[in-house]
Amino acid sequence: MSSIRYDWTKEEILEIYNRPLIDLIYEAATVHRQHHDPTDVQVSTLLSIKTGGCSEDCGYCSQSARYQTKVERSELLGIEEVRKAAKSAKQSGSSRLCMGAAWRNVRDNYEFDQVLEMVKAVYDMDLEVCCTLGMITEDQAKRLAAAGLYAYNHNIDTSEEYYKEIISTRGFEDRLKTLRNVRKAKLTVCSGGIIGMGESPEDRCNMLLALSKLNPHPESVPINGLVPVEGTPLEDQEIVPIWDMVRMIATTRIVLPDTTVRLSAGRTQMTDEGQALCFLAGAGSIFAGDKLLTTPNPETSKDMALFQSLGLKAQRPYQKGEKPTVDEAVYKTHSERVVKIKWSRPGHTIERNESASCK
Ligand code: SAM
Ligand code: DTB
Ligand code: SF4
């Protein structure tokens, strides 16, 4: 059984990444079998609960307000729309619903209250609930946990060195800070990145090095192949070669043996045989459903046929951890919390102007 290491070096990871592919896949498949059931695949469905109009400038993103893409901005979804999406995700075999919002960070307002209600509603349907809402504070992470959240997705995206080429409106350290806040709330961490943005093999390995320094390692690491979106600065990037995707999945598998490696965006650009190699190299999870957040993904029926051919099965919820408990007292609404703070300042009394409030 390979050990869980937090002391990997750049050189070691790069040496793994550059091995002859045939040896690399063999070793990754061996590690995969030591730590996971290779026929078991965790399947998540994505739901964009707030689309477009984001203030950040992430160079790959269809949802940044800074680029002219075909994505239309929408308001936050209502609870019923979320329940409906969760029901259909469950019926199609997903064990997790991942709700994404095009936000730089979470603000303590009525919209966050609504997200907490969404989390609780999906939790009550016995699905694992994941959110990806941008940067969050420790308090916000704790309120999400109290509402029944199981995982928080926040990608480091690339190496610290290459990060500045892709995003200027927040730093690599900001991403790590949110991951620390997520851990303080005892949520499981989902953090990975994208390949195919013009980064070097060293950048890919340095991203894995940064993930390997997180203690404990993230429970889930998504490896996304860039989906070049018209209107974004990365619209003309070549589709990442399948061999790079397999190499990256295999290297992630070896460096983070206990982690679930998620074969994420970019699957519509791959053949069935290419995806089969990714599963062989240690991918243990996918996003299912014909849409990711704003870009296409393979049809569920196509994925099910692939699972059938490869002898894979979709994992049931909470196979890798306990169902969290809901703490009604902690995930109180913003207005309830604000009132509490306002009237509890020691030594400070506020006179109510009753006649004015009647007017
Ligand atoms: N706003 C939140 C954030 O940035 O954390 C959540 C949503 S964001 C769309 C989630 C992740 O999706 C990004 O960190 C990035 O890794 C991935 N992603 C976004 N656009 C992509 C694209 N065009 N191709 C591949 N991955 C993409
Ligand atoms: C992740 O790493 N990949 C997912 C999920 N986390 C939120 C998102 C992929 C988005 C692909 C581009 C889009 O559909 O907008
Ligand atoms: Fe906004 Fe997230 Fe897209 Fe960056 S990746 S522009 S933070 S939605």
Place of tokens 């996918």: 286
- 309 in a domain, yes or no? yes
For residue 300, being part of any structural domain is answered with yes
In-domain check, residue 322: no
- Secondary element (H or E) of residue 354: helix 354-358
Count the Cβ atoms, other than its own, within 10 Å of residue 128.
27
Instruction: Write down the catalytic residue from 96, 204, 262, 267.
Output: 262
Check residue 86 and give its pLDDT.
Answer: 98
Residue 205 catalytic? no
**Is 221 within a domain?**
yes
- CATH code, 161: 3.20.20.70
Is the pLDDT at 133 greater than 50, yes or no?
Answer: yes
Q: How far is the CA of 37 from the centre of ligand 3 (A)?
A: 34
* Distance of CA 58 from the midpoint of ligand 3 (Å): 6
Catalytic, 98? Answer yes
Mean pLDDT of 193-214: 98
Which residues lie with the beta carbon below 6 Å from any ligand 1 atom?
60-61, 100, 102-103, 132, 134, 154-155, 157, 193-194, 224, 226-227, 229, 265, 293
Can you give the pLDDT at residue 359? 39
User: What is the domain range of residue 278?
Assistant: 10-317
Tell me whether residue 278 is one of the annotated catalytic residues. no
Residue 150 CA to ligand 2 centre (angstroms):
18
In a domain, 345, yes or no: no
Instruction: Render 91-124 in DSSP notation, one character per residue.
Output: HTT-SEEEEEE--SB--SSHHHHHHHHHHHHHHT
CA-CA distance, 118 to 155, in Å (whole number)?
Answer: 22
What pTM did the predictor assign? Answer: 0.93
216's CB contacts (< 8 A; 6+ apart) are 183
CA distances from 58 to 36, 105, 170, 260 (A): 34, 14, 9, 25
Is residue 61 annotated as a catalytic residue, yes or no? yes
pLDDT in tens, 307-323: 999 999 999 999 988 89
> From the candidates 98, 131, 205, 278, which is the catalytic residue?
98
Structure-token pair, residue 12: 């070691």
What is the total count of domains within the chain? 1
**Taking Cα atoms as reference points, which of 305, 307, 239 lies closest to residue 268?**
239
Whether pLDDT at 358 is above 50? no
Cα(152)–Cα(145) distance, rounded to whole angstroms?
Answer: 9
Task: Check if 58 is active-site.
Answer: yes
Q: What is the pLDDT of residues 13-58, one digit of tens each?
A: 999 999 999 999 999 999 999 999 999 999 999 999 999 999 999 9
Is residue 337 situated within a structural domain? no
